[in-house]
Amino acid sequence: MKELQRIKGTQDILPEESYKWQFVEAITRRVMHRYHYLEMRTPVFEMTELFARGIGQLTDIVSKEMYTFADRGKKSLTLKPEMTAAIMRAFIEHKMYARQPVSKFYYIAPLFRQENPQAGRQRQFHQFGAELIGSSDARADAEIIDLAMQIFTEIGLNQLQLRLNSVGDADSRKAYREILKDYIRPRLDQYCPDCQRRFEDNPMRILDCKVETCTGLNQEAPKITYHLNQASQAHYSQVKDQLTRLGIPFTEDSSLVRGLDYYTHTVFEVTSGALGAQNAICGGGRYDLLAEELGGQPAPAVGFAAGMERTIMVAEAQGLSLGRIPAVDVFLAALGEQAQNEALIWLKKLRATGLHAETDFQNRSVKAQMREANRLEARFVILMGDNELERGVLTIKDMQQSSQEEIAAADVPGYLQQKTGNGDDRA
């Protein structure tokens, strides 16, 4: 029988790696809660129409990369390729706009895109991010950026670059699209087929093309920042002023755009030199028109999304420690039939005090059990034999000090808890 293997573009996060993910997730949750962002979890699949409307029919994500299927009722469903549209759908459906004027959410979620696997990006990948819905204030843009940068700082990432731009409001974008098309039209046949396809309906996406020929042609393209109306210029200036006040350095990059019409004003990206060509670990911006695009009431919003895989890759490239596999506080070596029958009871007592406790489940010799305790890096070993149980004592071996002593059985949980300083479960 053929051996079954994981699907191309997916990965198994094994125990020797999963603690790194837990480390990043724990920091993310801690910082999110400090900024008063509350977690939202949406279904892993949604109606396909949500992403066709929310991301855009002409994008590569919708046209080429989505995992779409029909259910038994012949409804078209799609595994989530991104979170923003799903969160906005939930925000509208549950009328969360009626609860408070500003809502702040975060997420940590798996997402799915059928693209060619590459470093830091699989067909099932993971993102953490945040959305602030209900405020058009430039301070909201600055807070979202500050939130993302704070998470990276507490993980320990450095040498990151924040790239910043404005794509203006709807009026600015409408006028700029025509100026951009006038520039591209006489050169259109020199652009790649994808850019030629985008020309009529989504010309701003052409500026984001990574094909070398297109990148060269775009060098002389008119910059949207030179064509912002007064309101858009004011908003962009306020965002930059707030970032300066927060001490967050940034580089203005007029080539940074978002092709979708619901994006407005601020767009940003965080990059790292540790990743080579695919160097983005975080992207975000303001999307004031998405709620209306999805059939809801107007709701200004701004957010970011960061790649979990790429964040961990940057941390590892910097040689950062991302936690460790949880150590075992106590290994219980049961010797004899009565002791083996009592082992689980004693483990339950020890674990109830917050200790990480383990035992042998193979009825091995004392020597083999001690080897297992060493493998698990156990701080203490309880040597529990039938004779000790009859006398109401247990032998405690300190693996660090290479010493041992007998302790009254009733005092063992408290004694070990005091020795390890472990009154609560550790992550």
Answer whether residue 410 is part of any domain. yes
Q: How confident is the model at residue 326 (pLDDT cuts 50, 70, 90)?
A: confident
Determine the structural domain holding residue 90 and report its residue range.
15-169+229-317
Answer whether residue 156 is part of any domain. yes
The confidence score (pLDDT) of residue 375 equals: 94
The confidence score (pLDDT) of residue 277 equals: 65
Mean pLDDT, rounded, for 25-30: 98
Strands 301-307 and 280-286: antiparallel
Question: What percent of the chain has a predicted confidence (pLDDT) above 70?
Answer: 95
Q: What is the pLDDT of residues 140-176, one digit of tens each?
A: 999 999 999 999 999 999 989 999 999 999 898 888 9
Average pLDDT, the chain: 91
The confidence score (pLDDT) of residue 94 equals: 97
Answer whether residue 89 is part of any domain. yes
Q: Cα separation of 389 and 225, whole Å?
A: 79
Q: Cα separation of 35 and 146, whole Å?
A: 10
Answer whether residue 207 is part of any domain. no
Residues 96 and 58 in one domain: yes
Helix (H) or strand (E) holding 175: helix 170-184
Query: Per-residue pLDDT for 358 more than 50?
Result: yes
Cα 9 to the chain's mean position, in Å? 18
Please, are residues 370 and 334 in contact by the beta-carbon 8 Å criterion?
no
Residues 140 and 233 in one domain: yes
CATH number, residue 353: 3.40.50.800
Residue type, 361: F
Answer whether residue 10 is part of any domain. no
**What Rg, from alpha-carbon coordinates, does the chain have?**
28
Q: What is the pLDDT of residues 258-274, one digit of tens each?
A: 767 778 999 999 999 87
Q: What is the pLDDT of residues 277-298, one digit of tens each?
A: 668 899 999 999 999 999 999 9
Query: Per-residue pLDDT for 427 more than 80?
Result: no
CATH number, residue 52: 3.30.930.10
Answer whether residue 405 is part of any domain. yes
Q: What is the pLDDT of residues 51-69, one digit of tens each?
A: 887 665 545 556 578 899 9
The confidence score (pLDDT) of residue 425 equals: 46
Residues 270 and 336 in one domain: no
Sign of CA dihedral 210, 213, 214, 215: positive
Residues 352 and 306 in one domain: no
Residues 261 and 385 in one domain: no
Residues 312 and 336 in one domain: no
The residue out of 271, 286, 317 marking a domain boundary is 317
Residues 160 and 264 in one domain: yes
The residue out of 286, 317, 348 marking a domain boundary is 317
Residue of 173, 153, 154 lying closest to 162 (CA atoms): 153
Number of structural domains in the chain: 2
Residues 304 and 249 in one domain: yes
Answer whether residue 122 is part of any domain. yes
21: left (phi over 0), alpha (psi -120 to 50) or beta: alpha
The confidence score (pLDDT) of residue 423 equals: 52
Q: Which residues contact 357 (CB under 8 A, 6 or more apart)?
A: 328, 329, 330, 331, 332, 347, 350, 351
Answer whether residue 334 is part of any domain. yes
Q: How confident is the model at residue 420 (pLDDT cuts 50, 70, 90)?
A: confident
3-state secondary structure of 285: strand
Residues 258 and 401 in one domain: no
The confidence score (pLDDT) of residue 421 equals: 80
Give 114: exposed, middle or buried? Use CB within 10 Å, 0-12, 13-18, 19+.
middle
Residues 312 and 340 in one domain: no
Q: Which residues contact 363 (CB under 8 A, 6 or more apart)?
A: 340
Residues 339 and 275 in one domain: no
Residues 384 and 240 in one domain: no
Query: Per-residue pLDDT for 12 more than 80?
Result: yes
The confidence score (pLDDT) of residue 57 equals: 52
The residue out of 252, 284, 317 marking a domain boundary is 317
